[in-house]
Structure 1
Amino acid sequence: MIERIWSGECWLWRLLLPLSWLYGLVSWLIRLSYRLGWRKAWRASVPVVVVGNLTAGGNGKTPVVIWLVQALHQRGLRPAVVSRGYGGKAQAYPLMLDRRTTPAEAGDEPVLIHQRTGAPVAVSPRRKEAVAALLAQGDIDIIITDDGLQHYALARDFEIVVIDGQRRFGNGWWLPAGPMRERASRLKSVDALINNGGSAQAGEIPMRLVPGQAINLQTRQAQPLNAIAEVVAMAGIGHPPRFFSTLRQHGLAPVKEVPFADHQDYSEAQLKALTTGSQQLLMTEKDAVKASRFAAANWWYLPVDAELPPEQASALLDRIAALRDNSPLN
Structure 2
Amino acid sequence: MAGNSLGQAMRSAIEASWYQDKPGWTQILAPLECLYRRVVATRFQRRIKQLNSPPVIVVGNISVGGTGKTPCVQALVLWLRSQGLRPGIISRGYGSQSEQFPLAVDADTDVTLSGDETKMLALACQCPVVIDPNRKQALLYITEHFDVDIVISDDGLQHYGLPRAIEIAVIDGKRGLGNKHCLPVGPLREPEQRLTQVDLVLQNGLSTTGEPLYNNAVVFTLTPVHWVNVKTGERLPLQSLTANGSLCAVAAIGNPQRFFDTLTALALPFDSTAFADHHQFTAQDFAEYGGRTVVMTEKDAVKCAAFAADNWWYLKVQANIPEPVFDELTNRLALRTNSSPFD
- The residue number in structure 1 matching 2:43 is 30
Aligned match for 2:138, one of 104, 115, 130 = 130
CA contact (8 A) 1:60 1:196 kept: yes
Aligned match for 2:61, one of 20, 39, 53 = 53
What is the letter of the counterpart of residue 128 of structure 1? K
CA contact (8 A) 2:50 2:56 kept: no
Q: 1:79 to 1:324 in 2, by over 3 A?
A: farther
| 1:239 and 2:255 aligned | yes
- The residue number in structure 2 matching 1:264 is 279
What is the letter of the counterpart of residue 126 of structure 1? N
CA distance in 1 between partners of 2:316 and 2:153 (Å): 21
Aligned residue pairs: how many?
Answer: 321
CA distance in 1 between partners of 2:200 and 2:194 (Å): 12
> What is the CA deviation profile of residues 203-241 of structure 1, one whole-angstrom value per residue up to 9, with x for unaligned ones?
211111111211111222222333322311111000000
What is the letter of the counterpart of residue 153 of structure 2? T
Displacement after TM superposition at 1:269 (Å)? 1.6
- The residue number in structure 2 matching 1:72 is 80
> What is the CA deviation profile of residues 264-299 of structure 1, one whole-angstrom value per residue up to 9, with x for unaligned ones?
0011121232x235x210000000001001111121
> What is the CA deviation profile of residues 81-136 of structure 1, one whole-angstrom value per residue up to 9, with x for unaligned ones?
10001111212100011221122111111111111010100000111111111111
CA distance in 2 between partners of 1:79 and 1:105 (Å): 22
Task: Single out whichever of 179-188 and 21-30 deviates more from structure 2.
Answer: 21-30
| 1:290 and 2:307 aligned | no
CA contact (8 A) 2:33 2:184 kept: yes
CA contact (8 A) 1:6 1:177 kept: yes
> What is the CA deviation profile of residues 147-198 of structure 1, one whole-angstrom value per residue up to 9, with x for unaligned ones?
0001111111100000111111100111111000001101111100101012
What is the letter of the counterpart of residue 25 of structure 1? R
- The residue number in structure 1 matching 2:4 is none
CA contact (8 A) 1:72 1:317 kept: no
The normalised TM-score by structure 2 is: 0.88
Aligned match for 1:280, one of 293, 303, 306 = 293
Displacement after TM superposition at 1:317 (Å)? 4.1
- The residue number in structure 1 matching 2:122 is 114
Percentage identity across paired residues of the two chains:
40
SS at match of 1:135: helix
**Equivalent residue runs for 1:199-210 within 5 Å:** 199-200=211-212, 201-210=214-223
Q: In angstroms, what is the RMSD of aligned CA positions? A: 2.0
CA contact (8 A) 2:166 2:333 kept: no
Structure 1's unaligned 5+ residue stretches are: none
SS at match of 1:213: strand
Task: Single out whichever of 189-198 and 16-25 deviates more from structure 2.
Answer: 16-25
CA contact (8 A) 1:172 1:180 kept: yes
SS at match of 2:59: strand
CA distance in 1 between partners of 2:58 and 2:102 (Å): 19
CA distance in 1 between partners of 2:342 and 2:179 (Å): 45
- The residue number in structure 2 matching 1:144 is 152
CA distance in 2 between partners of 1:108 and 1:193 (Å): 25
- The residue number in structure 1 matching 2:328 is 316
Displacement after TM superposition at 1:138 (Å)? 4.3
Q: 1:154 to 1:251 in 2, by over 3 A?
A: same
Q: 1:131 to 1:44 in 2, by over 3 A?
A: farther
